[in-house]
Amino acid sequence: MAITTNDLKNGMSLNLSEGLYQVVEFQHVKPGKGGAFVRTTLRNLRTGNQLEKTFRAGEKVEQAMIDKRDMQYLYRDGADYVFMDNESYDQLHVAPESLGGASDYLLESASAILQMYGDEIVGVELPASVELTVAETEPGVQGDRVSGARKAATLETGKVIQVPLFVNIGDKLRVDTRSGEYITRA
């Protein structure tokens, strides 16, 4: 669907000649001399790279229609992740490359919103935090209580994060999915 640059909004997806982009920020500029223009910051939906691009005011751009589907992660099938659409109950096999870093937070029966452009997955929205169990970590040494000290812990999904010294194997932790950091014990 063709729209003009005057209709741009944050979060809108565009299909440009450079690829599929999402508008992160835009600014409408009307200088004293010359025509107005729109200065934008765009994020590539496939790679995550950012691009700064300037458009003439009123220039036509192609809006990409991104379909957001509420899915449930079922299980791993070889290297692929199998998701089920919560509305149609169709199963979808997803390559790990399509999920990016989101695969570090997925447990069986977890919910995720997959952003689809046609049949291609261009993004994954997870809850702000998830609860994961510590699979492996070194024990905290008695008397080693420097304030703010951290150690590495491997979670049940294989992700390694930094945790406080008092965390032990088997503890359930709340982890921030946006930054990948330890929040608290659950």
Q: How far, in Å, CA of 152 to CA of 121, rounded?
A: 32
3-state class (DSSP) for residue 6: helix
- 83-130 pLDDT, tens digit per residue, is 999 999 999 998 888 888 888 888 888 899 998 888 888 888 889 999
- Residue 1 DSSP symbol: -
Higher pLDDT, 148 or 43: 43
Q: What percent of the chain has pLDDT over 70?
A: 95
- Asked if 64 and 19 count as a contact pair (C-beta separation under 8 A), the reply is no
Write a three-state SS string for 108-170: CCCEEEEEEECCEEEEEECCCEEEEEEEEECCCCCCCCCCCCEEEEEECCCCEEEEECCCCCC
CATH of the domain at 20: 2.30.30.30
Q: Is 35 exposed, middle or buried (0-12, 13-18, 19+ CB in 10 A)?
A: exposed
96 and 112 assigned to the same domain: yes
121 and 141 assigned to the same domain: no
Q: Which of 12-26, 57-71, 115-129, 144-158 has the lowest mean pLDDT?
A: 144-158
Is pLDDT at 74 greater than 90 in this prediction? yes
Q: What percent of the chain has pLDDT over 90?
A: 38
CATH of the domain at 133: 2.40.50.140
Q: How far, in Å, CA of 37 to CA of 31, rounded?
A: 8
Query: Looking at residue 175, what is its pLDDT?
Result: 92
95 and 107 assigned to the same domain: yes
Q: Which position has the token pair 């992660």?
A: 73
Query: Looking at residue 48, what is its pLDDT?
Result: 81
Domains of the chain: total: 3
Domain boundary among 13, 46, 62: 62
Query: Looking at residue 120, what is its pLDDT?
Result: 86
Q: Which residues pair with 44 in a beta bridge?
A: 21
Query: Looking at residue 146, what is its pLDDT?
Result: 64
Query: Looking at residue 5, what is its pLDDT?
Result: 86
Is pLDDT at 143 greater than 80 in this prediction? no
76 and 119 assigned to the same domain: yes
Query: Looking at residue 26, what is its pLDDT?
Result: 92
- Residue 63 DSSP symbol: B
Is pLDDT at 134 greater than 80 in this prediction? yes
Domain interval for residue 39 = 2-62
User: Dihedral angle at the C-alpha atoms of 46, 52, 58, 61, nearest 10 degrees?
Assistant: -20
Is pLDDT at 82 greater than 90 in this prediction? yes
86 and 134 assigned to the same domain: no
